[in-house]
Chain A
Amino acid sequence: MASNTQEAAHGGGSAMPQLDFSTFGNQIFWLVVALVVIYLILSRVALPRIAAVLAERQGTITNDLAAAEDLKAKAVEAENAYNKALADARAEAQRIAAETRAEIQAGLDEAIAKADEQIAAKAAESEKAIAEIKAGALESVKAVANDTAEALVAALGGSADKDAIAKAVAERTKG
């Protein structure tokens, strides 16, 4: 640095190029040229274009948001319609099920009634048959008892008239 200073002192020119006034005109001239060129580039081309792009993007975003809002509303609508259809279908299904159930119930009742009737008829028939059989059996028992009683009386050496024996047997077998 000392040598620099010496040089400056001896060579006359400044060792600090910033203070070399002979180059100032040159620098200022080219600076002004550069600034004017940049200003023209920016104000004519670059800035309007970027502003347009930004505005366009803002517009696109706004439009997209509106469209999204629209689509959302549509989706809500569709969901409502779907829910309604679902509820309708469910009600219809329930109605059909109830109807079918009633039909089946009716058929069932009819069948049960018929079966009951048949069963009752059968039962009555059977009862009658049983009664007949029972009567027949009682008749036979009475006859057998009479015969047996008569035979017993005869074997014991007595003789009895049939009516008395029958009367006595009837008396005993009663109850």
Chain B
Amino acid sequence: MGKIFFYAALALVLVSGLILAPEEAKLAIHPMDQFQVSALFGGDISWYTPTNVTAWMAAAVAAVFALLVLGSSRRAIVPGRAQSVAELAYGFIYKMVEDVAGKDGVKFFPYIMTLFMFIVMANFLGLIPGSFTTTSHIAVTAVLAALVFVTVTVVGFVKNGVGFLGLFWVSSAPLALRPILAIIELISYFVRPVSHSIRLAGNVMAGHAVLKVFAGFAAALGMFSFLPIFAITAVYALEVLVAFIQAYVFTILTCVYLKDALHPSH
């Protein structure tokens, strides 16, 4: 039965491709158009204008609220589905913070949970066809990474005072090498927020652009459009994975940086 439907659908796709084929198949690919920021109610974009960024960030906030607040509102001892997911997310991040950043990193748990939930929700919402992905914008991820960078630096100096600079002074290396290593460490420290932010934005942007490129192929290929459509399906599955993994990576790197701030000994 399933096979029959499959072949029927395939035949339908092929035939419709023949009939609906564009008169002059042209390769019109605009992979970057999906990232356009536009005002919701027209007009110029100033800093407070409600834009599609606003809308999708609100959707992310609503999703976090729905999962973590509404999902756990029954406070059941034997959890339902939503509550299980909420508890799973809680346990996952809590354990990550405890394992990577250490026991005294736990007081930053709400902060890290905020970052994770926002990124993961924004990533997943961005996978809805036609949606806008807030995390694909370097402005957004740069602010997220800068928040982490500033927090980590401030925490490092408040906790350890000048001792935090020991992070750059590799005491296990030969004395002659230490200044050179210190320079390298310092550079790598300041590159952190750059790579931290560009990794997330770049991954998300690249995946979405690839989807758009394949969609452009599908529009141009007429009856063979099923090939890129299959490819889109596969890439979409990969993107679902990437959406989660990038949120995970962002969070765990935050924890690693936090560990450096709390225990800067090399």
Contacts and interface: CB of A to CB of B under 8 A. Distances in A.
Interface of A: 1, 4, 15-20, 22-35, 37-39, 41-43, 45-47, 49-54, 56-57, 60
Interface string B50-80: 0101100110110011001100100111010
B69 A46 contact: yes
Contacts of B83: 53
Nearest to A21: B139
Given A46-B69, A50-B72, A26 B51 contact: yes
Given A45-B69, A49-B75, A50-B68, A30 B87 contact: no
A43 B115 CA distance: 13
A27 to B, nearest CB: 4
B87 A47 contact: no
B183 to A, nearest CB: 30
A124 to B, nearest CB: 96
Contact of B53 (A22, A26, A45): A26
B18 interface: no
Nearest to B113: A42
A contact face: mostly helix, strand, loop, or mixed: helix
B111 A20 contact: no
B236 interface: no
A35 B114 contact: yes
Interface string B38-53: 0000000111110101
Interface residues of B, number: 51
21 contacts: A1-B29, A4-B30, A16-B35, A18-B138, A23-B51, A24-B139, A26-B46, A26-B47, A28-B143, A29-B48, A30-B54, A31-B53, A31-B144, A32-B143, A33-B57, A39-B114, A45-B68, A47-B68, A50-B90, A51-B90, A53-B76
Contacts of B30: 4
Contacts of B137: 17-18, 27
B49 A17 contact: no
Contacts of A27: 37, 51, 53, 134, 137, 139-140
Given A43-B110, A50-B86, A60-B77, A31 B143 contact: yes
B48 A53 contact: no
Interface of B: 29-30, 32, 35-37, 45-49, 51, 53-54, 57-58, 60-61, 64-65, 68-69, 72, 75-77, 79, 83, 86-87, 90-91, 109-111, 113-115, 117-118, 134, 136-140, 143-144, 147, 201, 205
Contacts of B65: 41
B97 to A, nearest CB: 12
- Kindly name the residue among A15, A38, A39 whose own CB sees the greatest number of chain B CB atoms within 10 A: A38
A38 B115 CA distance: 9
Nearest to A47: B110
A30 B134 CA distance: 10
Given A17-B37, A18-B136, A38-B64, A52 B110 contact: no
